[in-house]
């Protein structure tokens, strides 16, 4: 079969080599972006007189027919035409005749594919931002219902201090807010048009790159044609932002996995987001959280792959860069799926408030309250720390907790302690009193919630 670029060649490659070199199996995902870019290009060719207005309109009509067929899933792609660009060009020629071959005037597949990816990522990043907002909304809804729900806060996975569960959930809201900002910031680098850079050096035709960019909704154009066709920074940035976002999701996934275990029993997941065992009838596994935790590996891998492809790559376009798409597509699909799953999982989970409350009443997470209490009475904090540490050891040996001690036992450890110590050691009061800005105090959590609502 005659290649659209085959004039210089005396023979065609064997089929298995064609299949190895072809990208149509995955870059067909860019079909609508490719047609969109072609429509803008041919309108520009007509405006500048490079093609007659009649030729431009005829090609536009053919492209619009291909777009309809693409949206209906009726296009059939061929490996022999290698990629989405040549497949569509061949279809266009079949649709309107030899005039379809004029579409490629003043451009190359190099600037064409770069334009497609800019268009694609611009849409997808905006969609990801919306899904981040949806997850933030789910976190806010649960946090609002659990401002005064208290659970142990942890450091080193050891119980540290009692905190508001709403406060804990809002920590992830703020992580996601930074993620959202990074994606929004990256749109500045995505929203640039490479169209018209041609193969690498521009073109002798009197094209109007700014007009094409305007038609495509880009805010500007690349200033250097070599940079335009070789730049993949915008993909690296997207992959990097995604890697950090899914890292945050894995942290929340791990907590959900722990909280839903029998050992914690702090939450129960909705059946939609859990699965059973093929052999153990009693099991309810947090598979969706585990799967997202695992999917981080492919997102990290896609980032490393892209960096490796670009490392040491000379200007401008090289066939290596065909490998830039699959990881990008995979990360887009992984991020959208993970964010959607998480939104539903957080919004529908059941919070076992009584179990959380019992946990903070049967631990030493209120020990810092006693140290602060002594420090407020004028005892140097380091000395107060030692007094409380000895009291904790005393309780461990006695198999009890600080609130179980009598006032006499407290006074034996430190004469400055009076009967107001019991109110101080109450987990609810311990949380309520932590009203420093951004703290876990109930009034501060409510302030956070108002700020969060404004941001989404």
Predicted confidence band of residue 4 (pLDDT cuts 50, 70, 90): low
Predicted confidence band of residue 21 (pLDDT cuts 50, 70, 90): confident
Token digits of residue 261: 């275990």
Within 10 Å of residue 156's Cβ, how many Cβ atoms?
A: 6
41 counts as catalytic: no
Predicted confidence band of residue 314 (pLDDT cuts 50, 70, 90): very high
DSSP state of 265: -
pLDDT at site 18: 72
pLDDT at site 11: 62
Pick the more confident residue, 11 or 197. Answer: 197
End-to-end CA distance of the chain: 55
Task: Please give the average per-residue pLDDT across 144-155, as a whole number.
Answer: 97
Predicted confidence band of residue 15 (pLDDT cuts 50, 70, 90): confident
- Cβ contacts of 175 within 8 Å, gap of 6 or more: 248, 251
Task: Please give the average per-residue pLDDT across 374-378, as a whole number.
Answer: 94
Task: Please give the average per-residue pLDDT across 3-31, as a whole number.
Answer: 76
Predicted confidence band of residue 12 (pLDDT cuts 50, 70, 90): confident
212 counts as catalytic: no
Instruction: Select which of 156, 278, 406, 436 is catalytic.
Output: 156
Token digits of residue 196: 């018209």
Task: Please give the average per-residue pLDDT across 407-413, as a whole number.
Answer: 94
Task: Select from 79, 60, 68 the least CA-distant residue to 31.
Answer: 68
Task: Please give the average per-residue pLDDT across 188-194, as a whole number.
Answer: 98
Q: Is the pLDDT score of 277 beyond 90?
A: no
Task: Please give the average per-residue pLDDT across 201-228, as a whole number.
Answer: 98
Q: Are 317 and 110 in contact (CB under 8 A)?
A: yes
Helix (H) or strand (E) run with residue 159 in it: strand 158-164
Task: Please give the average per-residue pLDDT across 161-181, as a whole number.
Answer: 98
Predicted confidence band of residue 17 (pLDDT cuts 50, 70, 90): confident
What share of the chain in percent tops pLDDT 70? 97
Task: Please give the average per-residue pLDDT across 305-323, as a whole number.
Answer: 96
Q: Is the pLDDT score of 5 beyond 90?
A: no
Task: Select from 26, 231, 28, 223 the least CA-distant residue to 118.
Answer: 231
Instruction: Select which of 261, 277, 418, 443 is catalytic.
Output: 277
Q: Is the pLDDT score of 14 beyond 70?
A: no
Q: Name the one residue in this structure whose structure tokens are 């805010």.
A: 219
- Mean pLDDT across the chain, nearest whole number? 95
- Cβ contacts of 320 within 8 Å, gap of 6 or more: 309, 313
DSSP state of 361: T
Q: Is the pLDDT score of 160 beyond 80?
A: yes
- HSE at residue 242, side-chain half, CA atoms within 13 A, is 37
- HSE at residue 413, side-chain half, CA atoms within 13 A, is 26
Q: Are 183 and 129 in contact (CB under 8 A)?
A: yes
pLDDT at site 2: 54
Task: Please give the average per-residue pLDDT across 279-293, as a whole number.
Answer: 94
Task: Render pLDDT for 75-106 as a digit per residue (tens, 0 to 9).
Answer: 999 998 999 999 999 999 999 999 999 999 99
* CA–CA dist 209, 222 (Å, integer): 9
Task: Render pLDDT for 119-130 as a digit per residue (tens, 0 to 9).
Answer: 999 999 999 999
Give the torsion through C-alpha atoms of 303, 307, 310, 311, to 10 deg.
Answer: -170
pLDDT at site 399: 95
What's the pTM? 0.93
Task: Render pLDDT for 340-357 as a digit per residue (tens, 0 to 9).
Answer: 999 999 999 999 999 999
Task: Please give the average per-residue pLDDT across 27-46, as a whole number.
Answer: 97
């Amino acid at each position: 079969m005659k290649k659209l670029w085959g004039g210089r060649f005396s023979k065609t490659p064997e089929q298995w080599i064609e299949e190895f070199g072809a990208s149509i199996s995955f870059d067909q995902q860019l079909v609508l972006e490719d047609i969109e870019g072609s429509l803008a290009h041919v309108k520009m060719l007509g405006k500048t007189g490079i093609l007659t207005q009649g030729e431009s309109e005829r090609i536009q009509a053919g492209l619009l027919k291909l777009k309809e067929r693409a949206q209906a899933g009726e296009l059939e792609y061929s490996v022999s035409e290698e990629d989405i660009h040549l497949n569509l060009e061949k279809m266009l020629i079949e649709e309107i005749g030899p005039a379809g071959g004029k579409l490629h005037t003043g451009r190359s597949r190099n600037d064409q594919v770069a334009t497609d990816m800019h268009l694609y990522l611009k849409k997808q990043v905006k969609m990801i931002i919306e899904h981040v907002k949806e997850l933030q909304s789910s976190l806010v809804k649960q946090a609002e219902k659990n401002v005064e729900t208290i659970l142990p806060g942890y450091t080193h996975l050891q119980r540290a201090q009692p905190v508001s569960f709403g406060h804990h959930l809002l920590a992830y809201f703020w992580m996601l807010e930074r993620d959202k900002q990074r994606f929004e910031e990256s749109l500045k680098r995505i929203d640039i048009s490479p169209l018209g850079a041609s193969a690498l050096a521009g073109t002798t035709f009197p094209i109007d790159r700014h007009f094409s960019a305007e038609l495509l909704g880009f805010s500007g154009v690349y200033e250097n044609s070599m940079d335009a066709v070789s730049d993949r920074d915008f993909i690296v940035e997207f992959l990097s932002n995604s890697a950090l976002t899914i890292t945050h999701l894995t942290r929340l996934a791990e907590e959900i996995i722990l909280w839903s275990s029998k050992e914690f029993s702090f939450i129960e997941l909705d059946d939609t987001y859990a699965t059973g065992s093929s052999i153990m009838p009693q099991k309810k596994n947090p598979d969706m959280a585990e799967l997202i935790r695992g999917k981080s590996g492919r997102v990290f891998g896609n980032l490393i792959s892209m960096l490796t492809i670009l490392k040491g790559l000379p200007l401008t376009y090289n066939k290596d860069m065909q490998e830039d798409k699959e990881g990008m597509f995979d990360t887009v699909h992984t991020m959208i799926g993970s964010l959607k799953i998480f939104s539903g999982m957080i919004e529908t989970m059941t919070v076992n408030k009584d179990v959380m409350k019992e946990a903070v009443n049967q631990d030493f997470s209120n020990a810092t309250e006693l140290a602060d209490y002594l420090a407020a009475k004028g005892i140097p904090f380091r000395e107060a720390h030692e007094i409380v540490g000895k009291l904790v050891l005393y309780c461990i040996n006695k198999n009890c907790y600080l609130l179980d001690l009598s006032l006499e036992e407290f006074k034996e450890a430190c004469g400055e302690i009076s009967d107001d110590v019991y109110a101080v050691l109450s987990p609810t009061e311990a949380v309520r009193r932590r009203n420093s800005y951004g703290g876990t105090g109930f009034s501060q959590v409510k302030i956070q919630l108002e700020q969060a609502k404004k941001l989404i």
